[in-house]
Amino acid sequence: MKIVFWLFLVISVCSCKPYAGVVRYALSEENVPYSKAVIANGILYASGQLGINPKTKLLQPDLDSQTRQIMDNLRILLEQHHSDMKDLIKVNIYLKDISQLKEVNEIYTSYLSERRPARTSVQINALPLGALIEIDCIALAK
């Protein structure tokens, strides 16, 4: 019986793989200590996005334009990795003022198909650069 157990254990350990696929890192152009996205085992993990216009490098002035810019930035990031909004699995929304969630929802849903990802929305005390909203996501990578 002990021999069967040890044989099973050795076979199990030897057949385990630390990663089932390749891990890729999408580095930021900015000098920041994180990647824009990491893809591991067919899943894309996007870092939090602020409403910064990538051409001007400026934060948009209000919640509406910050939310639209974030959703555009996420769409572009997903497309760069051969994915799209239909592949979203989980979204986290961080708001400076949770009472503005209804306004965010109207913009957010306009970017989605009928397939809606799981989502968490929370109010937080402060965001980088004085932003009003930040969004990160997890999506299938193709």
Judged against a pLDDT cut of 60, whether residue 140 lies above it is answered with yes
pLDDT tens for residues 94-118?
Answer: 999 999 999 999 999 999 988 899 9
Which of 67, 62, 32 has its CA nearest to residue 47?
32
Helix (H, G, I), strand (E, B) or coil at 46: strand
Q: DSSP class of residue 16? A: -
Helix (H, G, I), strand (E, B) or coil at 59: strand
Would you list the DSSP string of 76-140?
Answer: HHHHHTT--GGGEEEEEEEES-GGGHHHHHHHHHHT--S-PPEEEEEE-S--GGG-SEEEEEEEE
Judged against a pLDDT cut of 60, whether residue 123 lies above it is answered with yes
pLDDT confidence of residue 30:
67
**Length of the chain in terms of residues written:** 142
pLDDT tens for residues 14-43?
Answer: 444 444 455 766 656 667 778 899 999 999
pTM for the model = 0.81
- Higher-confidence position of 21 and 89: 89
pLDDT tens for residues 46-65?
Answer: 999 999 999 999 999 999 99
Token pair, residue 110, equals: 């306009």
**Least confident window among 11-15, 49-53, 137-141:** 11-15
pLDDT confidence of residue 7:
39
Helix (H, G, I), strand (E, B) or coil at 21: coil
